[in-house]
Structures are given as structure tokens and as C-alpha cells.
Amino acid sequence: MTPTELERYLDDHKLMVEKQLDGFVPSANRPPQRLNAAIRHSLLGGGGKRLRPILVLASAEAVGGRKADLLPMACALECIHTYSLIHDDLPAMDDDDLRRGVPTCHKAFDEATAILAGDALLTLAFQLAATPIAGRTDGVVLAMIAQLARDAGIHGMVGGQMLDILAENRETTLAELQNIHIHKTGALIRASCLIGATLGGGDPEQIRHLNRFGEAFGLAFQITDDILDVIGDARIMGKSPGTDKRNNKASYPALMGLAQARQEAQNMVNEALEALSSFPPTADPLRALVSRLLDRTH
Ligand code: GRG
């Protein structure tokens, strides 16, 4: 897949996901208007790469599944991700003013509304995840809902966020930082691949490989995020760089320098590609996506 073909693939799938999200969220003139406006502001107002839903769809495609059937689940992943960003930006956490190129939810509205918008997106996610899927048993869908809850919750993203907060303002080892990244950012990315592969009808071997792909992708993604926090451009990123330093947080560049951090990210990209080695060309979008990860600017 050429870079241009990948761009087109990402644009098409982003549009597909955004159209669905727009339909799943009440319009801003439906009550409670303030809540719906806040949800729309964060979910649809500033864009976002829609990486997690695209990973759900591309993983289903890799195993020969029907992507259209997985759109509600793909949107569920984006709802959980957006809720985490809204809450992460709050004054009690990272206290950020800018997200996805627009004011953060609590800046555009207020703190209470931002907390509720996050809560509403988290619960909407599970409503969407519970959509039956043609050709899949309710048992498999149920297992994936439980998987999503685990990876978004105590043993995944929320637990990782707690570890991240506890690691502020103190020395952190590389093993500790890796553990934070695996949970805080990696769990939802890995879940996207695992759920896409399973609901796409993959066999146990394919599911295992795509789970491994997601794990390596998640780590590579977070390392590049750490790098962008040092060298990134606020206008392109749509958020302020330098937050790790400002909040006294450990990061790959801070622990090992930029060059070594880039090398670590490249190692993870190679591992992710290795996990796809037995897949046919249906996995080419995933191959192209991970191959371009180190070039990302936002
Ligand atoms: C508040 C429960 C809770 C969890 C927060 C994901 C997270 C946990 C916090 C976000 C902090 C952060 C900036 C982490 C770096 C990696 C990351 C998740 C970046 C944002 O994801 P992208 O780049 O964002 O996919 P877009 O806007 O493109 O969707």
C-alpha cells in the first residue's frame, strides 16, 4: 500500500466512523442540550485521527470480516477514548486548555459538564458495544464487551492512568514507564485489534497474532507520543506539547534520549510487522499504518 493509498484509506474510514458517531449522539438541540453540545464538541468538534475504530475495522478486514457490521463496536472504542481525553484534560489531572485543536471540554463548557460528558460517552460506549453482530453468537459479543471493560478499566486504561499519576514528580524506571504505557495507552489499542479480529471471525491463531500486533503498535504509538511531546508543533498536534516536562512526568526521551527512544519505537514497529507475517494482503492497511507510525506529526 503506497503512502497515498494509506492516506485515502484513513480518510475514507475516518469519514465512515464520524458519520456513524454523528448518528449515535443526540443532536445539540435535544435535551439536555448542554450535555449533548459538550459531547459533540469533544467527539466531533475537533476531529481526531479515529485510530482505535480504524484499528477495529482494519483488524476485521485482516481476517476477512465484514467491516460494516463492526461499526457500532468501532464507535464504542472512540467513545471510550474521547471520554478518557476529556477527563485527562481536567484541572485535577493534566489541566490542559487545548485538545484536537479546540478548547478542552471544561474550558468550552465547565468542569461539571465535562465530567458528565465523559461519563455519558463511557456509558454510550457499552450501549453501542452491545449491538448484535450478524454471524456472531451473543456469547462472542458478550465476551468482547467484557474484554472492552477489562482493557478500559482497572486492569487497563484507568489503572494505567492511576499509575501515571502516582509516578509524577519522582524517579521512574524504564520498566515502570513501560508498564504505565502498556496500560494507559496500550490496552485500548490492543483491545481494538483483538476485538476487531474476534468479531471479524478470525481463527484463534489470527486473533493471537493481532493481539500481539496491537500490543506492539500501542507501545510504538505511545513512544512516538512521548517524542512528539518534546519535538512536536502545537498547531499540527492540536494540543500543547511539553506537558510531560511541565507535569514532571517520565517519558522515553527523558529516560534514554531522543535517538534511543526512536530506536525503541522502531523495534516495536518491527515486532508489530512480524506479528502480521502470516497474513494475506488483507492485512496491508495494518502493515502500512504501523510502518508510517514513526513519521506521524500528530
Ligand atoms: C482519564 C481514565 C482516564 C484515562 C486517561 C489515554 C489517557 C488515559 C490519557 C491521554 C493522555 C495522553 C495524551 C496520552 C498519550 C497517548 C494518547 C492516548 C494520545 C491521544 O490519542 P490520539 O493521538 O488522539 O489517538 P486523537 O485526538 O487523534 O484521537
Domains, the chain, in order of start with CATH, read 3-297 (1.10.600.10)
Give Cα 173 to chain centroid, integer Å. Answer: 25
C-alpha cell at 68: 460494516
Assess whether pLDDT exceeds 80 at residue 221. Answer: yes
Is residue 185 lining ligand 1, measured as CB closer than 6 Å? yes
CA angle 93, 152, 260 (to 5 degrees): 70
Q: What is the rounded CA–CA span in Å between residue 176 and residue 285? A: 32
Residue 79 pLDDT greater than 80, yes or no: yes
* Residue 49 CB less than 6 A away from ligand 1: yes
**Residue of minimum CA distance from atom 7 in ligand 1:** 84
pLDDT at 30 over 80: yes
Note if the bond before 32 is cis, omega within 30 degrees.
Answer: yes
Mean pLDDT of all residues in 266-285:
98
Is the Cβ atom of 296 under 6 angstroms away from ligand 1?
Answer: no
Q: Are 265 and 223 in contact (CB under 8 A)?
A: yes
Global confidence as pTM: 0.95
Ligand 1 neighbourhood includes 51 CB (under 6 angstroms) = yes
Q: Residues in the chain, how many?
A: 298
The residue whose CA has the least distance to atom 4 of ligand 1 is 84
Residue 3 has pLDDT above 60, yes or no: yes
225 lines ligand 1 (CB under 6 A): yes
**φ/ψ of residue 241, rounded to 5:** -75, 175
With CA atoms as reference, report the closest residue to 103 among 85, 120, 118, 119.
85
For 65-103, b/e burial (b = at least 16 CB within 10 A) is: bebebbbbbbbbbbbbbbbbbbbbbbeeebebebbbbbb
DSSP string, 84-129: HHHHHHSTTTT--SEETTEE-HHHHS-HHHHHHHHHHHHHHHHHHH
The residue among 241, 130, 121, 252 whose CA lies nearest residue 185 is: 252
* 58 in Cβ contact with 285 (< 8 Å): yes
Question: Distances from the Cα of 267 to the Cαs of 194, 205, 261, 262, 273, in angstroms?
Answer: 21, 23, 10, 9, 10
Residue 237 has pLDDT above 80, yes or no: no
Position 153 confidence tier, pLDDT thresholds 50, 70, 90: very high
Ligand 1 centroid–CA 263 distance in Å is 22
pLDDT bucket at 170, cuts 50 / 70 / 90: confident
Ligand 1 centroid vs 84 CA: distance in angstroms?
Answer: 7
Q: Which atom of ligand 1 is nearest to the CA of 243?
A: 13
The Cα-based distances of 81 to 1, 50, 238 in angstroms read 27, 9, 16
CA 280–ligand 1 middle distance (angstroms):
31
Q: Give 164 Cα–ligand 1 centroid separation in angstroms.
A: 12
Q: How confident is the model at residue 229 (pLDDT cuts 50, 70, 90)?
A: confident
| Cβ 87 under 6 angstroms from ligand 1 | yes
Cα 205 to Cα 278: distance, rounded to the nearest angstrom: 10
Q: Determine the Cα–Cα distance for residues 248 and 250; give it in Å rounded to an integer.
A: 7
Share of the chain above pLDDT 70, in %: 94
Mean pLDDT of the chain: 94
